[in-house]
Amino acid sequence: MTETGHTLIVCSCEDTMPLDGEAIARGCRDSELRSARHLCRTQTGLFQALLGESRAITVGCTQEAPLFEEIAADADYAGQLIFANIRETAGWSRDARAAGPKMAALLAAAAEPMPPAGFTTLESKGVALVYGRDETAIALGQRLAEHLDVTILLSRPGDVTPPRVVETPVLKGTIVGATGWLGAFELRVDDYAAPAPSSRGRLVFGEARQGAISHCDIVIDVSGGAPLFPAGDLRAGYLRADPRDRAAIEKILGEASHLVGEFDKPRYVRLQEELCAHSRSRKTGCTRCLELCPTGAITPAGDHVAISAEICAGCGACAAVCPTGAVTYSLPPTDALLRRLRTLLTTYAEAGGRQAVVLLHDGEHGEALIDALARFGNGLPANVLPLRVNEITQLGLESYAAALAFGASAIRVLGPARPKHDLSGLQRNLAYANALAGALGFGTGRAGVIETDDPDQLAQALALIAPGSGSPQPARFRPMGDGRPLLRQTIGELHAAAPAPVAAVPMPDRAPFGTIHVDTEGCTLCLACVSACPVQALSDNPERPTLAFQEDLCVQCGLCAATCPEKVITLEPRIDFEAWKGGRRVLKEEEPFHCINCAKPFGVKSTIEKIAAKLENKHWMFSGATAPRISVIRMCEDCRVEVVVNESFDPHLSPQRPPVRTTEDYLRERAERGEDPLQ
């Protein structure tokens, strides 16, 4: 039989969901469509036959994916096998009969390739520190000793009965500083002491010392105090439990016993140091990522920041708010996610879908909630298109702009009622998206977040979404690249697809776009701002004193304003589409001053004349007999040095300074005036 390119297999799951074959075929015109009723049981032969006919197969079922993978492995299938969930997300719904376009979109989007993520390796040899206060820590350490090399550290212990046999070391000390990760922890311990072997009724410790350093692979904290690390539950190798919670103790006992060996941890983000706008010349500019990182994985490192892949928990908030694109998310890369979003929305429209609402969610919380709504409620509406991401906090402005440009009428982000990551960066980007959408005619409140753990509340929130003014001509561009160029591309496409485009849109504070205003009267064209600008939005002209600005490059980091010695620069967050198209514009330009000796251009004419006017006959070096020396101010650096050296100028000929006045001088003057010097 002739081999086909791509085949879709959809199953009605024993007729529990209707299948609109025509709508699916309209949306997935480049694929061959097959349907079944009981694919995972009585009709596995259909799947086995397709393994020999198609180079790529998308199966509309995720529940039985392990079974189909096993069948494909037995058949030595070398093609691409993809799975898409169309049952809980579309078929098990009150709107199932209208969900054909959505099924087509979900099947097509699942086939969009996603690049693999990179990894960093954490190695643990099983050296563990159990940190506690009493017998609970000792008992836990003794149980873990079967699997790990354990040391027990007790902080300010009370009366602790000595163990009958010392199988694991028991020490006293309080951890006052902790750094590291699985396989590389370093702890600073105060009040450190070992117990006396002669301890009888209770442990008696020897003389304590401060500042002891301990290295270990695993830290098990049952002290009941504050966590040793920010967002400690996200730190690899750090396990913490309330000593009064027996279930929690048993849980970390099981987890810790398996933390020996090498572990691959995804590299969630990528950093390009040369693009970072954190600092220049010890002036602080952008701190957005530092403010949002929950784990402390990001630290200042001179002009840029440093990101520890070992500590990073993958929330992606840093990449979502980075204005320059120095930090980008890798699981998956943003352009790959946007291409999947493009396929989802374009296929939905081609299959006949209308008023698409994109529901962005994670796997841990979002998929479980959608599944519960399908099994025990009315399911997702037919126009709600779910799209899974690794973490909802990874979503930047480009994701919302692209969704609206591709034809979505609204975007909702699904998160838990008690989020594990700070959502302030997410909320900030939603505010930017709504400012753009409202100004460009898409309507108000087009992007928002739904924070709930209740499937019924999810259904109610989705039902309240008012129909929006979608794009009359949705964009079809293919997102490519990352960082700032990708963000500019998506916003430009959003403007082109807008129902009511405008030339400029005011943006909320700290938006990554905007302009600067320069008080040209106060500007001396020293060009310190040009040197400080990390993205070359400000530039000069080597031929003449000029300050130029390119608005689409500006990230509103504020380094120019912080560096300006005259303090004549202010920022304004906005998106001016006309200015984006206009390229560089000159903010201030003056004639250069020509050296009166060699005619070489240098400096700014107005500045040189202003300095000369301030000094002439007002400073001892340029007054009286030395008044002609003012001419050196009007010379270039080479001529100035030559003239001063040839004249053998003596800097010690300056006027004598007045003598220092002492208390005795004041008392003598009072006595001379007939006053009592002691009053």
Q: How large is the average pLDDT for residues 478-492?
A: 95
The Cα–Cα gap between 230 and 233 comes to: 9
630 confidence band (pLDDT: 50, 70, 90): confident
Whether pLDDT at 162 is above 80: yes
> In this predicted structure, what is the pLDDT of residue 668?
84
Alpha helices in 127-228 (DSSP H): 135-144
The answer to whether the beta carbons of residues 9 and 47 sit under 8 Å apart is yes
Residue predicted with more confidence, 659 or 514:
514
> 404-448: per-residue pLDDT in tens?
999 999 999 999 999 988 899 999 999 999 999 999 999 999 999
- In angstroms, how far is CA 282 from the centroid of its own chain? 23
d(CA 671, CA 679): 11
Average pLDDT over residues 382-394: 97
Joined together, the tokens standing for residue 108 give: 């097509």
pLDDT at position 677: 66
CB atoms within 10 A of CB 555: 25
The CA dihedral of 95, 96, 97, 98, to the nearest 10 degrees, is: 60
pLDDT for res 622: 63
**Nearest by Cα to 425 from 396, 388, 387, 389:** 396
Which pLDDT score, from 0 to 100, does residue 343 have? 98
CA-to-CA dists, residue 414 to 184, 329, 336, 381, angstroms: 35, 19, 21, 15
By CB neighbour count within 10 A (0-12 exposed, 13-18 middle, 19+ buried), where does 591 fall?
exposed
d(CA 263, CA 547): 52
Q: Check residue 263 and give its pLDDT.
A: 96
Give CA–CA dist 324/631, Å, rounded: 46
Write out the H or E segment, with its range, that includes residue 426. Answer: helix 424-439
Pairwise CA distance, residues 346 & 215, whole Å: 54
Query: What is each CA distance from 65 to 60, 344, 508, in whole angstroms?
Result: 10, 21, 46
pLDDT value at position 600?
84
- Tens of pLDDT, residues 218-266: 999 999 999 999 999 999 999 999 999 999 999 999 999 999 999 999 9
3-state SS class at 384: strand
The two structure tokens encoding residue 200:
């009888």
Average pLDDT score over residue span 546-574: 96
**What's the confidence (pLDDT) of residue 289?**
96
What pLDDT is attached to residue 621? Answer: 60
DSSP 62: S
Please tell me the predicted confidence (pLDDT) of residue 118.
92
Task: Provide, rounded to the nearest whole percent, the portion of the chain with pLDDT above 90.
Answer: 80
Q: Which whole number is the average pLDDT over 272-280?
A: 95
**Residues near 355 by beta carbon (within 8 Å), at least 6 away in sequence:** 383, 409, 467, 468, 470
3-state SS assignment for residue 205: strand
Tell me, what amino acid is at 335? Answer: D
User: What would the pLDDT profile of 296-325 be if each residue is shown by its tens digit?
Assistant: 999 999 999 999 999 999 999 999 999 999
Place of tokens 């499937």: 455
The verdict on pTM exceeding 0.85 is yes
pLDDT bin (cut points 50, 70, 90) of residue 1 is very low
Rama region for 191: left / alpha / beta (φ>0; ψ in -120 to 50; rest): left
Given a contact cutoff of 8 angstroms between Cβ atoms, the answer to whether 405 and 494 are in contact is yes
The amino acid at residue 452 is: T
Residue 397 exposed, middle or buried by CB count within 10 Å (0-12, 13-18, 19+): buried
- Calpha distance 667→92 (Å, rounded): 100
Structure tokens at 36: 């079944």
Tokens read off for 196: 């006396």
What's the average model confidence in pLDDT over 648-656? 59
Q: What is the pLDDT of residue 462?
A: 97
Find the Cα–Cα–Cα–Cα dihedral 425, 426, 429, 434, rounded to 10°.
-140
Q: What is the CA radius of gyration of the chain?
A: 35
Helix orientation angle between 397-405 and 424-439, rounded to the nearest 10 degrees: 30
Average pLDDT over residues 355-363: 97
Gap between the Cα atoms of 588 and 548, Å rounded:
7
pLDDT at position 458 over 80: yes
Domains of the chain, earliest start first: 4-83 (3.40.50), 121-264 (3.50.50), 267-329 (3.30.70.20), 334-502 (3.40.50), 514-589 (3.30.70.3270), 614-679 (no CATH)
Least confident of 163-177, 508-522, 587-601: 587-601
**Residue 613 near residue 630 (C-beta atoms within 8 A):** no
Distance CA 292, CA 301 (A): 17
Q: Is the peptide bond before 323 cis (omega within 30 degrees of 0)?
A: no
Going by the DSSP 8-state scheme, the letter that residue 153 receives in this structure is E
Question: Which of 81-85, 375-379, 583-587, 656-660 shows the lowest mean pLDDT across its residues?
Answer: 656-660
Cα–Cα distance measured from residue 59 to residue 38, given in angstroms and rounded to the nearest whole number: 13
Q: Where are the beta strands (DSSP E) in 248-368?
A: 261-266, 269-271, 279-280, 283-284, 298-301, 304-307, 327-329, 357-361
What secondary structure letter does DSSP report for 186? Answer: E
Mean pLDDT of 562-586: 95
Q: What is the pLDDT of residue 165?
A: 82
Average per-residue pLDDT in the chain? 92
CA atoms of 331 and 326, how far apart (whole Å): 16
Q: What is the mean pLDDT of residues 3-11?
A: 87
- Residue 74 pLDDT: 96
530 with 588: CB under 8 angstroms? no
**pLDDT, average across residues 638-662:** 71
Quote the CA–CA distance of 623 and 281 in Å, as a whole number.
Answer: 37
Assign 632 a pLDDT band (cuts: 50, 70, 90). confident
For residues 17-45, average pLDDT:
95
Per-residue pLDDT reduced to its tens digit, 661-671: 888 887 888 88
With a CB cutoff of 8 Å and minimum separation 6, the contacts of 340 are 109, 112, 114, 387
pLDDT of residue 467: 83
Residues in the chain: 679
